[in-house]
Amino acid sequence: MFRQVLRWVLGERLKTSQLAEQKFNVFWGMAILSSDAISSVAYAVEEILWILIPVIGMASYSWMLKIAGAIILLLFILTFSYRQTVDAYPSGGGAYIVAKSNLSNLFGLIAGASLAVDYTLTVAVSITSGTAAITSAFPFLFPYRVIISVAIIILLTVGNLRGIRDSSRMFGIPTYAFIFSIIALIIAGFIKHTYGDYRDIPTPSQSHVAFGTQAVTLFLLLRAFSSGCAAVTGVEAISNGIPNFKPPSQRNAKIAYLLLASAVFVTFGGVAYLANIYHAVPNPHQTVIAQIATDVFGKGPMFYLIQVTTTIILAMAANTAFADFPILLSLIAQDGYAPRQLALRGHRLNFSNGILTLSTLAIILVIVFKGDTHLLIPLYAVGVFTSFTLSQTGMFVHWLRLKEKGWLHRAVINGLGAFITSITVGIIAVTKFPEGAWIVVLVVPTVVLIMLKIRRHYDSVAEQLNIPNETLPYLNFNPHYSHFVIVPIDSLNAMVVKALRYAKSLTPNVEAFHVETREGEADKLRRKWALLNTDIPLIIKQSPYREVVGPLINYIDSEEHASQPGDVITVLLPQFFVPKWWQMALHNNTSIFIANALFHKRNVVVSVLPFYLEDMPALKRKWHEEKNKEKQSRS
């Protein structure tokens, strides 16, 4: 039954051999791998303004442009450094692998933990921001934003449990739809502003802009910069996904990087420019892009198109996290730093446990932060840039170690990347610390510690289970101990007889064991036992507290019992199974309790002997006979 439901929700299970990868050309490959990077455009500019406007008012716009410029520069540096990762790790070089193989396991784990945090936040941020796009289009949905976000996450979870291949061309379309609708917005916006009759009528939300007129401080600009950095998150994706490209996959991946960089450059730069000329002012009810779209197109089809494409690409971005997070965890799990279950392919060949972990965490984040992107952003970039820094540093070390042709120039590029990103981490951690970065600064090390503890545990298990090959030939399988079977019974019935017979087939040392909970309750059993023609002894113990396991264990441990230390004792539990589940509920299935209790007793093997019962038609007859008897007894 349950299996049926499972299959209906998750679809038919897949064979291991069905595991396959689709290959893509530059055009689609880039679109599929970059939704995360490009979608950030949807909120990056807005986040910069959130910081500036309340403080320096109208002055914000020119500064915003400068900051956007800096971020774009950062983007290009990252692009070129990652193009080198593509050269060095043709099979895909995530921060975890690069850091682990070039720096050390510990740095690998730090990168891994930061990435894990980053992916979780990607889901939370993208989905809440996508919901913001929806509520900007349909304001009456604003009160339900948390529910909407959670619903979308659950949808993605089910989808990914079913095994959406993120390597499906379909997933490239939203990226281009978004890019082109944004470009359309930019062009139309530019034209309308230059030749059109557009005059900047301050919207109510703009009214307070006038007030913020304090001095511009470096700290303020750095805070704004940190917020803007959200725009470059996700650029690592391509370097992880090199195998998804048609050969020559490395060359294609590198071209894809240039494509990505220019796409972000145009869209991010363009939106920044528009926000500037249209003086958009962020407010929780309408996203900046929505404001501009309204100014440019009015609330017409184009406006709604932009909101829809934004929502979809943001959902795609979250989806890439759903694709990468479980793979990352499975890699870590394979190295023994995370629970093994995360390395198991489920029902549909995906790492279902990883998917569920991610969605749970993301949902918690969304709820805790009331579905507000703006509150989540401060946590976001720390993890991303930590992993950037570590992978860049890794690459830097890589070149220094190998000293291949052109190593120096390559080392310089990655060194620069590492340098810039590390500075950025610092800036973000400091400027965003009070607003929430502290959470990440606490979480990442904690996760790393847990990972080390887990690995330690697995190692201890391995050490205790391991048998060196050289000793294998000398293992002796003939037991040097004697073996006892104890059969707990509450009455003498067909099931018990079957059990005793089975016990006899194991060893001559069989004992029946009964617990007497009421004075004289066992007498009937004693009488019946006396009639038996067998050497099996019946042991009866009193239990004033009506419990069975205690007396049993006491008996086993007592002198009274013939077994020597080191002997193995099997407790054989006869358990009957009835056809219907509700019938099972009609029996106090003691044996299950006994079993669970005994698992914690050493040198005791717990055996369950099933005895199947039917619903007998013969019964109805019996039932009526009895009814008649009653009648007679009364008349």
Q: What's phi and psi for 491, nearest 5 deg?
A: -155, 175
Q: How far apart are alpha carbons 419 and 322 in whole angstroms?
A: 30
- Which residue, 202 or 579, has its beta carbon nearer to a copy of itself? 579
Q: What's phi and psi for 466, nearest 5 deg?
A: -65, 140
Would you count residue 215 as binding a copy of itself (CB under 8 A)?
no
- Which residue, 140 or 623, has its beta carbon nearer to a copy of itself? 623
Would you count residue 246 as binding a copy of itself (CB under 8 A)?
no
Count Cβ neighbours within 10 Å for each residue of 392-428 and write b for 16 or more, e otherwise: bbbbbbbbeeeeeeeeeebbebbbebbebbbebbebb
Q: How far is CA 447 from the centre of its chain?
A: 14
Here's the x/- map for a copy of itself, 335-374, by CB under 8 A: it reads as ----xxx--xx-----------------------------
| Minimal distance, residue 83 CB to a copy of itself, in Å | 25
Would you count residue 7 as binding a copy of itself (CB under 8 A)?
no
Quote the DSSP letter at residue 580: S
Of the candidate residues 16, 194, 564, 628, the single one contacting a copy of itself (CB under 8 A): 16
Q: How far apart are alpha carbons 146 and 368 in whole angstroms?
A: 10
Of the candidate residues 203, 250, 283, 607, the single one contacting a copy of itself (CB under 8 A): 607
- Which residue, 60 or 570, has its beta carbon nearer to a copy of itself? 570
Would you count residue 502 as binding a copy of itself (CB under 8 A)?
yes
Of the candidate residues 3, 301, 463, 581, the single one contacting a copy of itself (CB under 8 A): 463
Would you count residue 597 as binding a copy of itself (CB under 8 A)?
no
Q: How far apart are alpha carbons 133 and 592 in whole angstroms?
A: 54
Would you count residue 559 as binding a copy of itself (CB under 8 A)?
no
Would you count residue 625 as binding a copy of itself (CB under 8 A)?
no
With residue 514 as reference, give the H or E element that holds it: strand 510-516
Of the candidate residues 1, 545, 559, 581, the single one contacting a copy of itself (CB under 8 A): 545
Residues binding a copy of itself: number (CB under 8 A): 98
> Mapping DSSP to helix (H, G, I), strand (E, B) and coil, where does residue 339 land?
coil
Would you count residue 618 as binding a copy of itself (CB under 8 A)?
yes
With residue 385 as reference, give the H or E element that holds it: helix 373-402
Which of these ranges, 27-35, 435-443, 549-557, 586-594, lies near a copy of itself under the rule CB under 8 A?
586-594
Nearest to 237 by CA among 41, 86, 24: 86
Would you count residue 623 as binding a copy of itself (CB under 8 A)?
yes
Q: What's phi and psi for 214, nearest 5 deg?
A: -80, 175
Tokens 């932009």, located at residue: 306
Strands (E), 185-322: none
Of the candidate residues 370, 409, 457, 624, the single one contacting a copy of itself (CB under 8 A): 457
Which of these ranges, 49-57, 178-186, 199-207, 501-509, lies near a copy of itself under the rule CB under 8 A?
501-509
**Residues 425-454 close enough to bind a copy of itself by CB under 8 A:** 454
Could you tell me if 410 and 457 are in contact, meaning their C-beta atoms sit under 8 angstroms apart? no
**Residues 73-102 close enough to bind a copy of itself by CB under 8 A:** 102
Could you tell me if 22 and 167 are in contact, meaning their C-beta atoms sit under 8 angstroms apart? yes
**Residues 294-333 close enough to bind a copy of itself by CB under 8 A:** none
Q: Long-range contact list for 259-262, CB < 8 A, 24+ apart?
A: 259/26, 259/27, 259/30, 260/30, 260/34, 260/37, 260/38, 260/79, 260/235, 261/75, 261/76, 261/79
Q: How far is CA 94 from the centre of its chain?
A: 17
Which of these ranges, 58-66, 243-251, 262-270, 607-615, lies near a copy of itself under the rule CB under 8 A?
607-615
Prior bond of 90 cis (ω within 30°): no
Would you count residue 1 as binding a copy of itself (CB under 8 A)?
no
Four-point Cα dihedral 621, 622, 627, 631, nearest 10: 100
Would you count residue 464 as binding a copy of itself (CB under 8 A)?
yes
Would you count residue 155 as binding a copy of itself (CB under 8 A)?
no
Would you count residue 594 as binding a copy of itself (CB under 8 A)?
no
- DSSP for 104-144? -HHHHHHHHHHHHHHHHHHHHHHHHHHHHHHHHHSGGGGGG
Handedness of CA 223, 226, 227, 228 (dihedral sign): positive
Q: Is 558 exposed, middle or buried (0-12, 13-18, 19+ CB in 10 A)?
A: exposed
| Minimal distance, residue 436 CB to a copy of itself, in Å | 28
**Residues 96-135 close enough to bind a copy of itself by CB under 8 A:** 102, 104-105
Of the candidate residues 23, 169, 483, 526, the single one contacting a copy of itself (CB under 8 A): 483
Of the candidate residues 401, 409, 423, 446, the single one contacting a copy of itself (CB under 8 A): 401
Of the candidate residues 2, 5, 17, 520, the single one contacting a copy of itself (CB under 8 A): 17
Which of these ranges, 21-29, 315-323, 407-415, 457-465, lies near a copy of itself under the rule CB under 8 A?
457-465
Would you count residue 461 as binding a copy of itself (CB under 8 A)?
yes
Would you count residue 481 as binding a copy of itself (CB under 8 A)?
yes
Would you count residue 520 as binding a copy of itself (CB under 8 A)?
no
Which of these ranges, 119-127, 207-215, 316-324, 594-602, lies near a copy of itself under the rule CB under 8 A?
594-602
Q: How far apart are alpha carbons 401 and 381 in whole angstroms?
A: 30
- Which residue, 15 or 405, has its beta carbon nearer to a copy of itself? 15
Of the candidate residues 475, 564, 581, 628, the single one contacting a copy of itself (CB under 8 A): 475
